[in-house]
Each structure stands twice: as structure tokens, then as C-alpha cells.
């Protein structure tokens, strides 16, 4: 039996499967990840551009990088990996996706229960009065964009040095505590606290399945099965293998 079929069978046997996704799942949608050779952090120093203190001290500088990212995000459309996860949810197998991505591509592919651990790209917020603005309503003619109160607007992303939004954190923890299988896709699993989620799931007895063309800390130490392939190839192949599973496996859903 090949690894796709094995993953499909394990998913069918699971009671509460949850996915954890990272930047890698959106690479085939044209969005570079952070830590690969051509990733965003090879071009920009994460502490200089990704830390909340940098944003506070020089919002215009950080906004230049954010706008470069924004132009890529605005063009991107879901790829076959996002659609495969939405399909798994529709089949009743996948109960939630915890994503570190801010690109909204899971929702665009039709996934419903998406927990955005690091925020989203749909709105901006005033760093002083907290007023929210839809992304489309903001003009970027002047950088940084300003709130009606005159203070710089910030993206609704989580910067380094900031807390995870409490609601997302709570929902993610609940999913991790309930899950008996976690499908980890396209993340280096190096950034805490997201990186604790698969470790917590595993320590509570969940099966860890990983899809990532590269080996990670997880694949070395704790993944039960690692498919070293791109998400856009592997996830549709896993979904296709579900239909080839024996009736006995399917009955366990
Ligand atoms: N399919 C699946 N995985 C891929 C693909 C692909 N086509 N291409 C690359 N990857 C893998 C890489 O091998 C890498 O392990 O995706 C992973 C991306 O890792 P990172 O760049 O570290 O991204 P991520 O894990 O999402 O980063 C976490 O760090 O900078 C912060 O807030 C940012 O949410 C981000 C967090």
C-alpha cells in the first residue's frame, strides 16, 4: 500500500481530524513562503520587518514590505491543495483547519471551519483607537495609511512579539485537544506557539501526518507518516485514494 493510501485510510479511521497549515500550502498559488531559499525572510530580515517594535518605530518602512506582500496576496487564488482540504471537510472527515496563513485561500476554496492563528489580510486596524477598515476601503497612496484619527493603520496580522488573537488561540487549543489525527501541511513548524500545536496533539495520542517536500523537525522526530511532496500534488492524491479505500475502511467514518 502506498503512503497516499495509508494517509487516506488513517483519515477515514479518524474520529476528529484537524489540519495545521503554513505558508507552503500557498506556494503553488504563487505566494512565496518565509524560510525556503526564495522565501520572504531571505529578502527581508524578520526582526527588522516582522516585529511589532519595528512596525511601531517605522511603520512606513514596514508598510513597503507589506504592500509587496499584499500585491501578491490580492492576486492569488486557491490551488488544488486548498480545494482538497475543503473536500475533506465536506466529506465530514476534516473538522477544522488551523492556519498560520493570512491569505484567506482556505475560505476561498470553500473551507468553513478555518481558525486564523496569525490573523488575516481582509482588514486593517488602527494601532491607537482600534477602528477597523476593510482592506478594499483603504487607500495606499500615502504610506503608512492613516486612520481617521490620524494614527497609522496596521494589518490585522500577528507580528513577532505579539500575542495570538485570544479567540483563535482558544479555538485552536480546543481543536488540538479534541483531535485524534493532525494533518500538518506546508509548515516548517518552527514558530511558537503554532509549532506547539502538533507537539501537543502528538503528546495527547493523536496521529501526525505530514505533507512537505522538505524534512522538518516534525518529520525527523514525531510524524507518523511524512509524504515528501508538494501539497498541490499530495493532497488531491490523498483525496483520490479515499475513494479507493476498502468499504471496511470507509465504514469507520
Ligand atoms: N507544498 C508543501 N509544503 C511546501 C511547499 C509546497 N508546495 N513549498 C514549500 N513548502 C514547505 C517548506 O519546505 C517549509 O517547510 O513549507 C514550509 C514553509 O515554512 P515557513 O516558510 O517557515 O512558513 P510557516 O511555517 O508558515 O511560517 C510560520 O512564521 O514568519 C512567520 O508569521 C509567519 O505564519 C508564518 C510563520
Active-site choice (51, 82, 106, 118):
118
Are 68 and 84 contained in the same domain? Answer: no
Are 25 and 36 contained in the same domain? Answer: no
**Strands 114-116 vs 119-126: parallel, antiparallel or unpaired:** unpaired
Are 85 and 206 contained in the same domain? Answer: yes
Q: Is the peptide bond before 144 cis (omega within 30 degrees of 0)?
A: yes
Judge whether 118 counts as a catalytic residue.
Answer: yes
Are 147 and 203 contained in the same domain? Answer: no
**End-of-domain residue from the set 107, 141, 157:** 157
**What's the pTM?**
0.96
Substitution site in 78, 196, 212 for ligand 1 pocket (most atoms within 8 Å of beta carbon)? 212
**End-of-domain residue from the set 131, 157, 183:** 157
How far lies 195's CA from each of 106, 206, 216, 217, 243, in Å? 20, 15, 11, 10, 32
Residues 198-229: tens digit of each pLDDT: 999 999 999 999 999 999 999 988 999 999 99
Are 67 and 179 contained in the same domain? Answer: no
Are 13 and 44 contained in the same domain? Answer: no
Who lines ligand 1 at CB under 6 A? 22-25, 27-28, 33-36, 39, 46, 50, 100, 118, 186-188, 190-191, 211-214, 216, 230-232
Are 176 and 210 contained in the same domain? Answer: yes
Are 4 and 127 contained in the same domain? Answer: no
Q: Edge-to-edge strand order for the sheet containing 132-134?
A: 132-134, 119-126, 153-157
C-alpha gyration radius of the chain: 19
Q: pLDDT by residue for the chain (253 residues), tens digit each? A: 799 999 999 999 999 999 999 999 999 999 999 999 888 888 898 899 999 999 999 999 999 999 999 999 999 999 999 999 999 999 999 999 999 999 999 999 999 999 999 999 999 999 999 999 999 999 999 999 999 999 999 999 999 999 999 999 999 999 999 999 999 999 999 999 999 999 999 999 999 999 999 999 999 889 999 999 999 999 999 999 998 876 656 554 4
The whole domain housing 249 covers 1-29+78-118+164-253
Are 95 and 17 contained in the same domain? Answer: yes
CATH number at residue 55: 3.30.1600.10
Q: How far apart (Å, rounded) are the C-alpha atoms in residues 172 and 15?
A: 17
Are 17 and 133 contained in the same domain? Answer: no
CB 234 within 8 A of CB 1: no
State in Å: Cα 216 to ligand 1 middle. Answer: 10
Are 243 and 146 contained in the same domain? Answer: no
Please return the burial class of 101, using the count of CB atoms within 10 Å of its CB with bins 0-12, 13-18 and 19+. buried
179 is in an annotated binding site: no
CATH number at residue 248: 3.40.50.1220
129 is in an annotated binding site: yes
What is the number of domains present in the chain? 2
Return the half-sphere exposure (C-beta side, CA atoms, 13 A cut-off) of residue 13: 12
**End-of-domain residue from the set 157, 180, 212:** 157
State in Å: Cα 24 to ligand 1 middle. Answer: 4
Are 198 and 137 contained in the same domain? Answer: no
Amino acid at each position: 500500500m502506498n503512503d497516499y493510501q495509508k494517509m487516506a485510510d488513517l483519515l477515514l479511521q479518524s474520529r476528529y481530524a484537524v489540519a495545521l497549515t503554513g505558508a507552503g500550502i500557498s506556494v503553488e498559488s504563487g505566494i512565496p513562503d518565509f524560510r525556503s531559499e526564495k522565501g520572504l525572510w531571505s529578502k527581508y530580515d524578520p526582526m527588522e520587518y516582522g516585529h511589532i517594535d519595528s512596525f511601531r518605530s517605522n511603520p512606513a518602512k514596514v508598510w513597503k514590505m507589506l504592500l509587496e506582500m499584499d500585491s501578491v496576496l490580492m492576486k492569488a487564488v486557491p490551488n488544488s491543495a486548498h480545494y482538497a482540504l475543503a473536500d475533506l471537510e465536506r466529506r465530514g472527515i476534516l473538522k477544522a483547519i488551523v492556519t498560520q496563513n493570512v491569505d484567506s485561500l482556505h475560505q476561498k476554496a470553500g473551507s468553513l471551519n478555518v481558525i486564523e492563528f496569525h490573523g488575516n489580510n481582509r482588514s486593517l486596524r488602527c494601532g491607537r483607537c482600534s477602528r477597523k477598515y476593510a482592506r478594499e476601503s483603504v487607500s495606499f497612496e500615502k504610506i503608512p495609511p492613516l486612520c481617521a484619527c490620524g494614527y497609522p493603520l496596521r494589518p490585522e496580522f500577528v507580528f513577532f512579539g505579539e500575542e495570538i488573537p485570544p479567540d483563535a488561540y482558544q479555538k485552536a487549543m480546543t481543536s488540538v485537544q479534541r483531535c485524534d489525527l493532525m494533518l500538518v501541511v506546508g509548515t516548517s513548524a518552527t514558530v511558537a506557539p503554532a509549532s506547539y500545536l502538533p507537539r501537543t496533539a502528538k503528546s495527547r495520542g493523536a496521529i501526525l501526518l505530514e505533507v512537505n517536500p522538505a524534512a522538518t523537525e516534525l518529520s525527523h522526530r514525531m510524524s507518523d507518516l511524512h509524504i515528501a511532496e508538494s501539497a498541490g500534488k499530495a493532497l488531491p492524491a490523498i483525496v483520490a485514494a479515499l475513494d479507493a479505500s476498502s468499504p471496511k475502511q470507509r465504514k469507520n467514518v
